[in-house]
C-alpha cells in the first residue's frame, strides 16, 4: 500500500516540473520572433520585439585583441528589411532561459547561414524586459566565429 502514495507523489511532482512557465514560453516567442523576422526580411516584425533604447553588440576577437562593437538597432532592422526573404537564416541549437520578475535572459548557441551557406556561428546572450505585459528584447550581445562551427 505504501507504493501507491509514493507513485502518486512522484506523478504529481513530475507533472508540476514538466509544466512550462508562461513567462518562459513568452520569452521564447519574443526571441523566436526576432529570427523569424530575419528569415522573412520583415523589418516591421523586428520593430515589435525590441524595447525602446535596445542595444545590439558583438564581442570581437581579432588576434587576441578583444573589443565590443555596437550596432544601432535601427541600422540592424533596416539592413534586415533590405535582405531577400530567406537569405538570413540563424539556426538555434538551444535556448536556456532564466527569469526573475520582469527580467529575463536567454542564451542561444547558433549557426548563421547567408543564402544557404554557413557564414559563422557563436552564441547570443539576450536580456529581455517585461514591458506592459510583453517581453521585449533590451540587449543582444553575441560572439561570431568561422572556425569550430557545428
Structural domain contains residue 6: no
Domain of residue 49, residue span: 21-143
Structural domain contains residue 11: no
Number of domains observed in the structure of the chain: 1
Q: Identify the sign of the CA torsion 107, 111, 112, 116.
A: negative
CA distance 147 to 94: 19
Q: What is the pTM of this model?
A: 0.84
CATH number of the domain that 85 lies in? Answer: 3.10.450.50
pLDDT at 15 over 50: no
- 92 in Cβ contact with 109 (< 8 Å): yes
What phi, psi does 47 have (nearest 5°)?
Answer: -60, -30
CA distance 9 to 3: 10
Structural domain contains residue 12: no
pLDDT at 107 over 60: yes
Confidence of residue 3 (pLDDT cuts 50, 70, 90): low
pLDDT tens per residue across span 119-130: 999 999 999 999
Residue 52 three-state SS: strand
Place of cell 547558433: 110
Average pLDDT, the chain: 90
Q: What percent of the chain stands above pLDDT 70?
A: 87
Q: Which of 91, 86, 82, 106 is nearest to 30 (CA)?
A: 106
Residues 6+ apart with CB under 8 A from 50: 73, 77, 136, 137
Structural domain contains residue 90: yes
For the segment 65-73, the average pLDDT, to the nearest whole number, is 96
- 106 in Cβ contact with 27 (< 8 Å): yes
Amino acid at each position: 500500500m505504501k507504493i501507491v502514495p509514493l507513485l502518486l507523489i512522484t506523478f504529481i511532482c513530475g507533472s508540476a516540473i514538466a509544466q512550462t512557465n508562461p513567462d518562459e514560453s513568452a520569452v521564447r516567442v519574443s526571441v523566436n520572433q526576432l529570427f523569424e523576422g530575419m528569415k522573412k526580411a520583415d523589418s516591421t516584425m523586428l520593430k515589435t520585439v525590441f524595447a525602446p533604447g535596445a542595444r545590439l553588440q558583438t564581442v570581437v576577437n581579432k588576434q587576441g585583441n578583444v573589443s565590443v562593437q555596437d550596432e544601432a538597432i535601427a541600422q540592424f532592422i533596416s539592413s534586415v528589411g533590405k535582405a531577400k526573404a530567406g537569405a538570413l537564416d540563424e539556426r538555434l541549437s538551444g535556448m536556456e532561459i532564466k527569469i526573475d520578475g520582469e527580467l529575463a535572459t536567454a542564451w542561444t548557441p547558433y549557426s548563421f547561414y547567408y543564402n544557404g551557406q554557413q557564414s559563422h556561428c557563436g552564441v547570443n546572450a539576450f536580456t529581455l524586459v517585461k514591458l506592459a505585459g510583453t517581453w521585449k528584447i533590451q540587449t543582444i550581445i553575441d560572439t561570431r566565429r568561422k572556425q569550430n562551427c557545428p
